[in-house]
Amino acid sequence: MKFNPHTNHLFTDDGRLIKRLHCPFRLDWSKLGPRDDPSARNCHICQHTVTDTAQRTEDELLALMSANPKACLKVDLSQDNLTLTYQR
């Protein structure tokens, strides 16, 4: 995956947009409530599930966003499956 930290856009390696990340609450992952799935947590403020992109494939994230475009994603700039980019 590729992430542009200036625009907050998350892309597949071949350039397909997964999501533009935006969270007005900016809660730390450790402050989110646990779920049965260790790659996801609950936000007690907005009541959404937040999915950790480090634990998912691009195809899984595209399917998630297709099923629920408002789904929330967590990106850690140092995760192994992520490359920073400053262009699309």
pLDDT along the chain (88 residues), means of 10: 96 96 93 94 94 96 95 95 88
CA 73 to chain centroid: 2
Q: Are the C-beta atoms of 76 and 54 separated by less than 8 Å?
A: yes
pLDDT of residue 60: 97
- Which residues are registered as beta bridge partners of 10? 3, 19
pLDDT of residue 21: 96
| Global pTM value | 0.90
Q: Where are the domains of the chain?
A: 2-84
pLDDT of residue 88: 59
